[in-house]
Copies of this chain bind each other. A is one copy, B any other.
Amino acid sequence: MSSVSAVKALVFDVFGTCVDWRTSLIDDFTKWSAKRGVNADWTALVDGWRAVYMASMDEVRKHPERGYQILDTLHRASLEKLVAQFGIQGLTEADLNYLTMGWHRLHAWPDTVSGLTRLKTKYIISPLSNGNVALLTNMAKFAGLPWDLILSAELFEHYKPDPETYLGAARLLGLAPEQVMMVAAHNGDLKAAQTNGLKTAFVARPTEYGPLQKYDFEATGDWDIVAGDFNGIADKMGC
């Protein structure tokens, strides 16, 4: 515990770490399309959407002259390409908006709310996500995530894993980096957080990508905490 005894705030990756984006989106779109009468392979669409996520943020990173674009905007642009590519017919503007806003309607993993609720009694808890502020706020209301505040890449106009996100979170909290612990199911996120002086906690979410999952089945770095789920983190953080 000594290495994490100075921690005052835990900041969480959200997509995959707190919420099951894949199952949530596939279920939501499947139910919606049955009523709406639109036919598509929603599993393929969702997997394809997430597959272009990193590249869409790289475009923002490579072209600062275009200005920062929030994740809702990137999601919408990617969706339009995928709809054309998959040949999905008959989607209106309202439909495209409904699908894009699906990322605001994601369900938590079973342990997320109970673990966060325990951690909140002793620590400041916040997302630190590439999702924009509105997305994270709406998701928190939808999924019952009891955040103290919402920290988003949007506030720093930089996407993770840019250092501005981790250091910006500590700055806004009025804390030193080592007083902030990053929690993620992704070793790459934790590596960047650690490089910037944050403490780190890993939880495996081995079904995040469904049958497509290729890595992050286990901790591959020297993280301060490795736990089975959020309640395991609460146990180890004395909550």
**Known pairs A134-B175, A137-B173 / 5 extra A-B pairs, C-beta < 8 Å:** A124-B137, A132-B172, A140-B149, A148-B150, A149-B150
A155 interface residue (CB < 8 Å to B) = yes
Shortest Cβ gap from A113 to chain B (Å)? 15
Given contacts A140-B148, A150-B149, A150-B150, contact A72 B174 (CB under 8 A): yes
> Complex: how many Å from CA A19 to CA B135?
29
Residues of B within 8 A of A150 (CB): 148-150
- List the number of copies, as a whole number: 2
Residues of B within 8 A of A174 (CB): 72, 132-135, 138
A218 interface residue (CB < 8 Å to B) = no
Interface string of A121-153 (1 = CB under 8 A from B): 000100000001111111011000001111000
Nearest neighbor of A120 in chain B, beta-carbon distance: B141
> Complex: how many Å from CA A136 to CA B151?
14
Q: Name A172's contact: one of B124, B133, B141, B149 (CB within 8 Å).
A: B133
Nearest neighbor of A104 in chain B, beta-carbon distance: B174
Contact (Cβ within 8 A) A134 B72: no
Main secondary structure of the interface of A (DSSP, over half): helix
Chain A interface residue count, Cβ-Cβ cutoff 8 angstroms: 21
A189 interface residue (CB < 8 Å to B) = no
Nearest neighbor of A174 in chain B, beta-carbon distance: B134
A154 interface residue (CB < 8 Å to B) = yes
Shortest Cβ gap from A74 to chain B (Å)? 14
Interface string of A48-88 (1 = CB under 8 A from B): 00000000000000000000000010000000000000000
> Complex: how many Å from CA A120 to CA B26?
29
Residues of B within 8 A of A147 (CB): 148-149
Q: Name A149's contact: one of B72, B124, B133, B175 (CB within 8 Å).
A: B133
Contact (Cβ within 8 A) B137 A154: no
